[in-house]
Amino acid sequence: MAHIHMVREHPLGLAAARKAAQGWARQVEDKLDMTCTFETGQDGDRVRFERAGVTGTLLVTKERFELDARLGLLLGAFKGRIEAEITKYLDEMLATGQDPLARRAGKKGRAG
């Protein structure tokens, strides 16, 4: 079983980090058929996510995101690509303060 663990520090504060995590969860539920559950705490939240071949958690605090995921045998073969996409997503979100998947979906939906 492949394992992905990453930590990203952020300046967002808990309320904005919580909102970003909720947006991320909506996107992975819609686009990747994940099931996400939230555990809200005073100092941070835990988002549990799963689908066939993937289980994990996203810890959300006022200072950082910590993602821990386990990939099954089939998805484990794509660990590098999956990890790169998660890294790209988090880095873009932290740089712009916006959900990059939502922005891309908005651009695709516009008539050109």
Residue 46's domain is classified under what CATH number? Answer: 3.30.310
Q: Is residue 111 part of a domain?
A: no
pLDDT confidence of residue 111: 47
Q: Is residue 22 part of a domain?
A: yes
Domain that holds residue 44: 2-100
Q: Is residue 107 part of a domain?
A: no
One-letter amino acid of 68: D
Total domains in the fold of the chain: 1
Q: For 69-84, how does the pLDDT look when each residue is reduced to its tens digit (9 = 90+)?
A: 999 988 888 888 888 8
Q: Is residue 86 part of a domain?
A: yes
For every residue of 9-68, DSSP letters joined together read E-SSHHHHHHHHHHHHHHHHHHHH--EEEEEE-SSEEEEEEEETTEEEEEEEESSEEEEE
Q: Is residue 106 part of a domain?
A: no
Q: For 1-33, how does the pLDDT look when each residue is reduced to its tens digit (9 = 90+)?
A: 899 999 989 888 999 889 888 888 888 888 888
Q: Is residue 6 part of a domain?
A: yes
